[in-house]
Amino acid sequence: MNLIMFCYNFMRTKNILGFNKMLETIKNWQPDYSKIVCALKNGFVKVIYRQNEPRYFLQIYPMSFFKAV
């Protein structure tokens, strides 16, 4: 599925920009890694703080199985 979408987007871009303009744009493209680094840091912080959350045997209603009927 990814290959099909890649080919579709490639051909669409080629038809809109033209092959030479698309090739020039690809050669001059510089990735912005600052967003990726920020997302990774955020993910690691969430994992670290998630370890300190209280854990219950039954996540939905903690200690509800001890209630008298």
Please give the pLDDT value at position 31: 79
> What does the alpha-carbon distance between residue 58 and residue 65 come to, in Å, rounded to a whole number?
9
Angle formed at CA 63 by CA 59 and CA 64, multiple of 5 degrees: 90
Please give the pLDDT value at position 63: 52
Report yes or no: 45 and 52 within 8 Å, Cβ to Cβ: no
Encode pLDDT of 6-62 as tens digits. 999 999 999 999 999 999 988 998 877 777 777 777 777 777 777 666 666 555 555
Phi first, then psi, for residue 53 (nearest 5°) are: -70, 145
> What does the alpha-carbon distance between residue 66 and residue 64 come to, in Å, rounded to a whole number?
5
Please give the pLDDT value at position 16: 93
Please give the pLDDT value at position 55: 65
Please give the pLDDT value at position 57: 59
Residue type, 3: L
Which DSSP letter does residue 64 get? G
